[in-house]
Structure 1
Amino acid sequence: MISKKIGIVESIVDKSENLDDIRVNINGNIQKAYNYPKMSGNVNVGDEVILNTTAVELSLGTGGYHFVISNLNNIESNFTPGGHIMKLRYTPFQVKVDSVEEQESSYHSAIENFKSLDNMPVVVGTLHSMLTPFVASYKKNNPNKKLVYVMTDGAALPIFLSKNVETLKARKLIDSTITIGNAFGGDYECINIYTALITAKEVINADAVFVSMGPGIAGTGTKYGFTGIEQGPILDAVKKLGGMPIAVPRISFADMRERHNGISHHSMTVFNDIVNVSVNIPITVYKDKLIDTIKKQIKDSKLDKKHNVVYINNGKTKEDLDYFNLKVKSMGRNYEQDKEFFQAASTAAYYLMEVCNDRGKNY
């Protein structure tokens, strides 16, 4: 289940408070590794470290590098005060967080007295790579509105792994982050999606929320065997709490796998079989043959009978990304190689500007 080796820190390529990009010498081979200093301590050149080498040996894409388990030259560390909720529970890496819901939390009463999201718009994606194009388009057109990102535990658990989040926060394009389930490291820690959405409204006073997993979706090629299936229950939760559920469909014409051509079978499964409520699905008006393919998929599956499918003209995705000098990549493909995918996420931001919710906020 786990493969471990001992290596020597050869160099530190990049170092931050939350993530170190290092090179390690394993039996004479120099290889890439990541260290989370808040979990496994600080590392220095020459330190002897225990590494989890499983992902590299499996030749994985996202996550395909070693991770430091422990630094043999700096073994001991102390936890920070406050908080009693554990994430990564009952594992050697369980971490203590100060959860918003805890009775000792200053936010406890706000969570306890919650009534409704009051139609707050919540955009729910699947792949982590949907985050940047949505944020770029949303913030370019709504620079003064407060945007919150909720990261689920469907993929990477430490939010520190996401360079996207690091960049977007540094440029003040994401105002706050929330990590839920066993994901951790956000500005706010929550136990589940319900309290995360409540936190976004009652504690942070968000104008809009984007929800998705971190880097590293898992899929198996089977109908239900993918972590992005969480999109359905999350959309249900938004509706249950009185929010406006908006779904980003996974769309691509660059993926060579037939099941992901046009609207991915992942999205079709969620929209047809998993989500229990009617949701808003913005669809980009692509070039003729491409949009014809998508419209046929929607008609054949009767998707528009269950959900509010809205066609949006959006030719500004690349302009929005360039405005903030943001680069995107998904499944190894950049914007030019898979632009329809990134446009789908951006279009959700433009959909918000075409609707006026019950809170009187025009988007």
Structure 2
Amino acid sequence: MISKKIGIVQEIISKTEEMEEVKVKIGNSINKAINYPKINSSVNVNDEVLLNTSAVELNLGTGGFHFVIANLNKLESKMSEGGHIMKLRYTPLQVKTFSAEEQESKYHDKIKNFRSLDDMPVIVGTLHSMLVPFAASYKRIDKKKKLVYIMTDGAALPIYLSKNVQNLKKNKLIDNTITIGNAFGGDYECINIYTALILAKEVLNADAVFVCMGPGIVGTSTKYGFTGIEQANILDAVKKLKGKPIAIPRISFADKRDRHFGLSHHTVTILKDIVNANVVVPIGVECTKNKEYVMNQIKESGIDKIHNIVYIDNDKTKSDLEYFNLRVKSMGRSYEEDKEFFNSASSAAYYLLEG
């Protein structure tokens, strides 16, 4: 069930064509809320809005935001022209998109006549926070290389929610974005990971593709109950289309939960029990003690007998981030607090471009 309340817009904190951050008054309290103008139309101060307050009431990791369901002062709006593929299908907020593969698209024939990814490298992460360090290192090594980001529907569905994506695009560290499944709002829309990879290769001429969900991974402390498990299916799709699948491992020595300490159980489950393809797994851990810990985990799990584990000497991640004036956080932790996590993503770029 949804928890809904009516609020009055008190202040516009920030505003773009895609997303508005506002303050709303509900009863006697002032709270932050997010509005997507392409769904609800824009809001103004003193507008009355219907809010989904569920996540905040549950103290979930949404940044303390409510979400605007409707602007009660602007209830009517018109659809944009073109396209007929619905996302968020059969919900009150279903969104019409123009998917690149549909019959009326100018890209339809290129996607239809696709044959092979021709060993195009596809880097697959599990957390959205892996995107920034990879893109920073990839573009600093060779800014002429074209990088395409595919956002899955494993977490946030509107790409607008990601300030990381906004910042990377502004700094030309991502060349194009594609949203798939029920995710929406990318430069291009696709129905699934297969057509998105084909679009990246045949239409966007990508040198490399980075795939991961948007902000907000879901986990349940069970072996299979986490949305990051999609990494396995994506890696298999890359192999099926004759690309080069590269898996970013989740590594942390700041996470105090045993299941995520060192090499996360998420990564072990995916690489040992789920993925069918043989994939490259770059490991970039500087500290000798921590590196040995991860190596032991890899040997104990047996994933070194299944996949191509490549150890990367990489002490440049922080420098790459600072070069582009980028700040990173994952699970609330900065680079200094969890450097092995960010180094792991960056090391995939060094594997590709310096290997």
Does residue 31 of structure 2 align to residue 54 of structure 1?
no
Q: Is the aligned partner of 1:201 residue 2:201?
A: yes
Residues 1:188 and 2:188 are matched in the alignment? yes
Q: Aligned AA for 1:295?
A: M
Structure 2 SS opposite 1:352? helix
Asked if the contact 1:248/1:348 (under 8 Å) is kept, the reply is yes
Counterpart position of 1:359: none
Residue 22 (str. 1) matches residue 19 (str. 2): no
| Deviation at residue 277 of structure 1 after TM alignment | 0.9
2:195 corresponds to 1:157: no
**Residue 28 of structure 2 is aligned to residue 40 of structure 1:** no
Structure 2 Cα separation of the partners of residues 299 and 59 of structure 1: 38
How far 1:63 moved relative to its partner? Answer: 5.2
**TM-score w.r.t. length of structure 2:** 0.99
Amino acid at match of 1:148: V
Matches within 5 A, 1:237-276: 237-276=237-276
CA distance in structure 2 between the aligned counterparts of 1:287 and 1:105, rounded to whole angstroms: 50
Deviations 1:284-334 (Å, cap 9, x if unpaired)? 132111001000001111111100000000000000000000000000101
One-letter amino acid matched to 1:354: E
Deviations for 1:52-99, whole angstroms, at most 9, x for unmatched residues?
000000001135410000011111111100001000000000011000
| C-alpha separation in 1, matches of 2:38 and 2:158 | 11
Amino acid at match of 1:263: L
CA distance in 2, matches of 1:79, 1:173: 31
The 5 Å alignment of 1:1-363 reads: 1-62=1-62, 64-355=64-355
What is the deviation of 1:28? Answer: 1.3
Percent identity among equivalent residues?
69
Distance in 2 of aligned mates of 1:155 and 1:218: 7
What stretches of structure 2 of length at least 5 have no aligned partner? none
Is the contact made by 2:32 and 2:64 (CA closer than 8 Å) also made in structure 1? no
8 Å CA contact 1:22, 1:32 repeated in 2: yes
CA contact (8 A) 2:2 2:52 kept: yes
Q: Secondary structure at the match of 2:354?
A: coil
3-state SS of 1:103 partner: coil
Q: Distance in 2 between matches of 1:182 and 1:10?
A: 31
Hey, what's the Cα distance between the residues in 2 that align with 1:319 and 1:253? 20
Contact in 2 for aligned 1:55/1:63 (Cα 8 Å): no
User: Which sections of structure 1, spanning at least 5 residues, go unmatched?
Assistant: 356-363
Question: Equivalents in 2 of 1:180, 1:42: separation in Å?
Answer: 25
Render the CA deviation track for 1:129-163: whole Å, top value 9, x for unaligned.
00000000000011011100000000000000000
Q: Mean Cα displacement is larger for which, 26-35 or 281-290? A: 281-290
AA aligned opposite 1:205: N
- Measure, in 1, the Cα distance between the counterparts of 2:300 and 2:173: 38
Deviation readout 1:212-267 (Å, 9 max, x if unpaired): 00000000000000000000000000000000000000000000100000010000
Secondary structure, aligned partner of 2:49: strand
Structure 1 residues 35-60: Cα deviation after superposition (integer angstroms, max 9, x where no partner): 00010111000000000000000001
Runs of 4+ aligned structure 1 residues displaced above 3 Å come to none
1:360 matched residue in structure 2: none
TM-score, scaled to structure 1: 0.97
Structure 2 counterpart of 1:233, one-letter code: N
What CA distance in whole angstroms lies between the structure 1 residues aligned with 2:231 and 2:44?
41
Tell me how large the CA RMSD over aligned residues is: 0.7
Instruction: Give the partner amino acid of 2:274.
Output: I
Which residue matches 1:358?
none
Q: Write the letter of the residue equivalent to 2:115.
A: K
